[in-house]
Amino acid sequence: MKSRSSSNLAPLRPTSKSSFLAVAGALILFLLLAFVPRPAVAGDAPAWMHALTNAPLPPHDEKTDAVLLYSEEILMVQPNGKLKEIDRNAYKILRPGGRHFGKVALPYDSDSRITSIRGWCSAFPRREKISR
């Protein structure tokens, strides 16, 4: 019985310049897509933020751009004597004019340090106006 060997198979090589460019292009595309940052998953947001998706909106008029749904400020003194501040705010942006509520700006100087910033964006279900 004769055994078949795969050693006589020629290695896969592009046969022309155009096929080489196609293979190179596919490889470059794969590498680019492999290192593209992916958007955060909805499960990444903390539970207190997820709870706000079903919370009723506070009273506001029809021209309000955004409403504050949650606000918490915590100031802690650490054992080394340094202060640690945690601010949590959640806004529901109702109109394009409230876009600036989705931006974060923190003042700091040579005596202060920002150790971390986290932010989440949650797509709240849109409430449709019902006309009667």
Structure tokens of 87?
A: 């601010």
What are the beta bridge partners of residue 83? 77
**Residues pairing with 66 in the sheet:** 93
Interval 102-126 mean pLDDT: 78
* Confidence at 23, pLDDT banded by 50, 70, 90: confident
The pLDDT value recorded for residue 126 is: 52
Model confidence at 75, pLDDT cuts 50, 70, 90, reads: very high
CA dist 111 to 78, 87, 90, 100, Å? 16, 19, 28, 27
Residue count (the chain): 132
Name the least confident of 93-97, 110-114, 118-122.
118-122
pLDDT in tens, 59-68: 989 899 999 9
Give me the amino acid identity at 36: V
CA dist., res. 22 & res. 16, Å (int): 10
The average confidence (pLDDT) of the chain is 75
- If one compares 80 and 17, the residue with the highest pLDDT of the two is 80
Report pLDDT for 109: 87
**Predicted local distance difference test score (pLDDT) of residue 22:** 73
